[in-house]
Amino acid sequence: MKIAGNIAALSPYVPGEQPKDAGAVKLNTNENAYPPSPKVAAALRAFDASALRRYPDPEFRALRARIAEIHGARPECVFVGNGSDEILSLAMRVFVEDGGAAASFSPTYSLYRTLAAIRGAKYAEVPLPEDFGWTDPGDAGGADLFLLTNPNAPTSVLYPRAAVERFCASFPGTVLIDEAYADFSGATCADIAAAPGNRNTIVMRTFSKSFSLAGLRVGYCIGPEDGIEALYKAKDSYNVDALAQTLALAALDDLPWMRANARRTAAVRDMMAGELRRRGWDVPDSAANFIFARPAHRPAAEVFAALRERGIYVRHFPGPRTGDRLRITAGTPDEAAALLAALAGTDVPPGGPSV
Ligand code: PMP
């Protein structure tokens, strides 16, 4: 078959493993350990299957109005996608010129690079400093679009708001701030995106993490009206299905539930980070629902494999900046305890006692 050259040459994004074993301790894809709000379950039960005869609202007006209200934005400044991954894919088409370039920090969410390759766009990476903290990307080599994950993944580090704000104000192209994990940090730049004078900054959120709805596939973004309008032009007619619109609205009707789960998750995250540091691991301060941790004694790849054998799934990203660490999702206190117990038997000094 004839396949476009850029796709033939593509190394696809590899999502985390979804183990078949129901007893697995799954700390590898940053899903929420707790169920979505009971209001979501109630809306699902009340959903009338016969309503599926009709196409969904292509402009998801009810959902958009509610999102706008929550963020103090105008509805014209809100776009909703089939997961935030769809918004990233659209952004790559809408904000990057043919033959143009996108850019991001490195390491960051590796899907960005794949989406740029699918678009046939150039891709520039601005290396993060040793501690994964902020560095000013300048004009990122003249890129049309800068993808800025905050807090970053897989590093878990939150960039200071003032630095992000300064960068957005000076960057000539579009800045898309991917706030997939912001609810676990308590910090946001959504107000920058919603501000009337904003010319180039889009803030993106997902229901997949803090709202416990990764299986539903809903994400949204806020930005300048002309940018949002451009996303509408490029989207599929019915990109967010009727059930997803209904259940996302129900989730937004119970923000206290989401916030309570985010707080519980953050407490497990901080406990896990503290205990691993006590054992000699290097763990940067995390503002997300995961940690990015370097084992004290054995190579990360070995610890990853040993955990997997014990039915505990974490994520390992081979590569020069990431290969010596594991990304571990903050699950329930029981899951964290299982992880810490298993590590006591795996991350041990050569020939030495367990930690
Ligand atoms: N951005 C980041 C940084 C992520 O880690 C993820 C989840 N893999 C996404 C976006 C995509 O989330 P979703 O498509 O589920 O909304």
CA of 85 to the centre of ligand 1 (A): 6
Atom 2 of ligand 1, nearest CA residue: 180
pLDDT digits (tens, 9 = 90+) for 267-287: 999 999 999 999 999 999 999
Q: Which of 249, 235, 234, 161 is nearest to 203 (CA)?
A: 161
Rounded to 5 degrees, what angle do the CA atoms 63, 64, 70 make?
90
Neighbours of 48 (CB within 10 A): 9
| pLDDT of 23 | 87
- What's the pLDDT score for residue 355? 45
CA separation for the pair 306, 86 (Å, rounded): 35
Mean of the pLDDT values across residues 83-99?
Answer: 97
pLDDT at 354 over 60: no
**For residues 155 and 282, is the Cβ–Cβ distance under 8 A?**
no
Parse the chain into domains and list their residue ranges: 15-35+256-343, 38-253
Residue 353: is its pLDDT beyond 60?
no
**Sign of the C-alpha dihedral, residues 337, 338, 344, 346?**
negative
CA angle 183, 16, 181 (to 5 degrees): 10
Say yes or no: do domains 15-35+256-343 and 38-253 share a fold.
Answer: no
CA atoms of 183 and 263, how far apart (whole Å) = 9
| Residues in the ligand 1 pocket, defined by CB under 6 Å | 83-85, 109, 149, 153, 178, 180, 206, 208, 214, 219
Confidence category of residue 162, pLDDT binned at 50, 70, 90: very high
Output the DSSP codes for 32-49: -SSPPPHHHHHHHHH--G
From 227, 207, 204, select the one nearest 215 (Cα to Cα): 207
Percent of the chain clearing pLDDT 90 (strictly above): 93
State the virtual CA torsion across 90, 94, 95, 97 in degrees, nearest 10.
120
Q: Choose among 110, 112, 158: nearest CA to 131.
A: 158
Q: Is the pLDDT of residue 317 over 70?
A: yes
Mutate to test the pocket of ligand 1, among 105, 177, 178 (most ligand atoms within 8 A of CB): 178
Residue to mutate, 32, 90, 108, 109, ligand 1, most ligand atoms under 8 Å from C-beta: 109
- Tens of pLDDT, residue by residue over 182-227, are 999 999 999 999 999 999 999 999 999 999 999 999 999 999 999 9
Neighbour-count burial for 151-166, b at 16+ CB within 10 Å, e otherwise: bbbbbbbbbeeeebee
Distance 348 CA to ligand 1 centre (A): 33
219-222 and 78-81: which strand pairing?
antiparallel
Higher local confidence (pLDDT), 178 or 16: 178
pTM of the model as a whole: 0.96
Q: Which CATH architecture has domain 15-35+256-343?
A: Alpha-Beta Complex (3.90)
Q: Which residues pair with 313 in a beta bridge?
A: 26
**Which residue's alpha carbon is at the smallest distance from atom 8 of ligand 1?**
29
Residue 286 contacts residue 132 (beta carbons within 8 Å)? no
Instruction: Report which protein residue has its CA nearest ligand 1's atom 4.
Output: 180
Among 84, 113, 179, 286, which residue has the most ligand 1 atoms within 8 Å of its CB, making it the best to mutate?
84
Q: What is the pLDDT of residue 351?
A: 66
Quick one: pLDDT band at residue 349, thresholds 50, 70, 90? Answer: confident
- What pLDDT, on a 0 to 100 scale, did the predictor assign at position 153? 97
Task: Kindly give the distance from the C-alpha atom of residue 114 to the centroid of ligand 1, in angstroms, as a whole number.
Answer: 14
Six-digit token string for 288: 């997300």
Q: Which atom of ligand 1 is nearest to the CA of 109?
A: 3
Alpha-carbon distance of 296 to 39, in angstroms, equals 43
Q: Give the chain's mean pLDDT.
A: 96
Q: What is the pLDDT of residues 68-78, one digit of tens each?
A: 999 999 999 99
Which pLDDT value is given to residue 352?
A: 60
Tell me how far the alpha carbon of residue 349 lies from the centroid of ligand 1, in angstroms: 35
Q: Tell me the per-residue pLDDT of 14-60, one tens digit each, with 9 for 90 and over.
A: 888 888 888 899 999 999 999 999 999 999 999 999 999 999 999 99
Read off the pLDDT band of 131 (50, 70, 90): very high
The position carrying tokens 């701030």 is 177
Query: What 8-state DSSP symbol labels residue 255?
Result: H
**Nearest CA residue ID for atom 12, ligand 1:** 84
Q: How far is the CA of 109 from the centre of ligand 1 (A)?
A: 8
Pocket test for ligand 1, best of 206, 218, 221, 317 (most atoms within 8 A of CB): 206
Exposed e or buried b for every residue in 10-32, given b needs 16+ CB within 10 A? eeeeeebeeeeeeebbbbbbbbb
Ligand 1, closest atom to CA 219? 16
| Domain spanning 38-253: CATH 3.40.640.10 | yes
- Residue 224 makes CB contacts below 8 A (sequence gap 6+) with 77, 198, 199, 200, 201, 202
Peptide bond into 333 cis (omega under 30): no
Residue 15 CA: nearest ligand 1 atom is 8
